Amino acid sequence: MNDVPSAGVRDLGGPPWERALVSRIRERNLAWTSEKTYRAWCRRFMASIGGKTINSLDHGDVRKWLSGLAVKERVSVSTQSQALNAVVFFFREVLKRDPGDFSDFTRARRGRKAPSVLTQAECKRLFGAMEGTGRLMAELMYAAGLRLSELLRLRVKDVDLERLQLSVQFGKGGKSRLTMIPPKLEPALRAHRERLRELHAKDREAGMPGVELPEALERKWPKAGEKFIWFWFWPSRNLMRDHRNGIIRRHHVLDVTFQKVIREAVEKAGFDKRVSPHTLRHSFATHLLASGVGIRDVQDLLGHADISTTEIYLHTAKYTGIGVRSPFETL
């Protein structure tokens, strides 16, 4: 997805290897968050190799670096896996060679921390410290259990207010799923959609290019991005440059923009705990389990490939059971 901010478009990297990495990442159309993560890890890997040349890098260098992360820096399993993904991408996509067998590197110790969650009263307090579109975004993120990237990339067509279903396209791992829209939120979402219709009409009258689409779809139907159904459900106020082709067009709200909204609301509400946008997703899962919803249902709603990922929320919930209803309904 094209979510590279203007400053990021201009940042093409420093040394030749990084410029080649950036080029390949953008050719593959990876998310901006993935680009930042891969670049940061690859910089750390390259800093660890000393005076070796890029052509002489092999699986031994990868094994030594990954083991060092676990032994010396004591990183978590997920952090080490993130570093592994970045360096494998670098070898295969940029250096065009197999990194070899380094499966015997020292693994980080597995230890999951219980996620930070809000009570339902705290969710209500947080929303009360917000207003306008920012509040509606936060409410939907909690009400439907969305990841931040999934929230930001919603299209008009993904929000079915008649069936009260939310279609999450290209979620984590490129998977799609359906989740709920609580009836309590439907009027505000419908009013928001009507405001979008006005903004879309103004963009069309101004002759602006359509919104960015997945590359395969854009090649097949170049004008589809001009249709209202493909319009971003949370469009940005300002236009941005598409890093793939230089076109100035309307993009969705950036993650940093929404994160700032949450940060300011947390400060205004006077919370004494760490709260991020993802805390809303954690709270959704915890409140569902605590209300008696079965863990398999919660797994499906969250889009977890492995139920062990969902099980972490059992530590923050009282009991499990059956029956699915968004916790937003009981606020």
What DSSP assignment string belongs to 88-150? HHIIIIIS-S-----TTSPPPPP-PPPPP---HHHHHHHHHT--HHHHHHHHHHHHHT--HHH
Q: Is 172 among the residues known to form the active site?
A: yes
Contact 110, 77 (CB under 8 A): yes
Q: Which residue spans of the chain are classified as CATH 1.10.443.10? A: 120-330
Token readout for 66 is 């990954």
Q: DSSP state, 209?
A: P
Q: Spot the catalytic one: 63, 153, 250, 304.
A: 304
Residue 216: per-residue pLDDT:
67
- Output the tens digit of pLDDT for each of the chain's 331 residues: 445 555 555 667 788 999 999 999 988 888 888 899 999 999 999 999 888 888 888 888 888 998 888 888 888 888 888 999 999 999 999 998 887 777 777 777 665 566 788 989 999 999 999 999 999 999 999 999 999 999 999 999 999 999 999 999 865 656 788 999 999 999 999 999 999 999 999 999 999 988 888 766 777 787 888 999 999 999 998 888 776 667 888 999 988 999 999 999 999 999 988 899 999 999 998 898 888 888 888 888 888 877 777 777 776 665 434 445 678 877 8
Q: Is 249 among the residues known to form the active site?
A: no
Residue 321: per-residue pLDDT:
42
Residue 4: per-residue pLDDT:
56
Q: Spot the catalytic one: 172, 175, 268, 273.
A: 172
3-state secondary structure of 280: helix
CA torsion through residues 291, 294, 300, 303, sign: positive
Q: Is 278 among the residues known to form the active site?
A: yes
Residue 234: per-residue pLDDT:
97
Q: Spot the catalytic one: 39, 200, 252, 281.
A: 281
pTM: 0.68
Q: Which of 263, 261, 208 is nearest to 232 (CA)?
A: 208
The pairs formed by 100-105 with CB atoms below 8 angstroms and a separation of 24 or more are: 100/58, 100/59, 100/62, 101/59, 102/59, 102/60, 102/62, 102/63, 102/66, 104/63, 105/62, 105/63, 105/64, 105/66, 105/67, 105/70
Give dist(CA 166, CA 160) in Å, integer: 6
Name, in order, each residue with C-beta under 8 angstroms of 225's C-beta and a sequence gap of 6 or more: 209, 210, 211, 212, 213, 218, 249
Name, in order, each residue with C-beta under 8 angstroms of 86's C-beta and a sequence gap of 6 or more: 37, 38, 40, 41, 42, 45
Q: Spot the catalytic one: 24, 44, 147, 249.
A: 147
Q: Is 313 among the residues known to form the active site?
A: yes
Give dist(CA 252, CA 149) in Å, integer: 10
Residue 315: per-residue pLDDT:
64
Residue 198: per-residue pLDDT:
96
- Name the superfamily (CATH) of residues 120-330: Intergrase catalytic core (1.10.443.10)
Q: 6-94 adopts what CATH topology?
A: DNA polymerase; domain 1 (1.10.150)
Q: Spot the catalytic one: 59, 125, 249, 278.
A: 278
Q: Spot the catalytic one: 63, 192, 251, 313.
A: 313
Contact 289, 298 (CB under 8 A): yes
Q: Which residue spans of the chain are classified as CATH 1.10.150.130? A: 6-94
Residue 322: per-residue pLDDT:
40
Beta bridge partners of 160: 165
Amino acid at 292: G
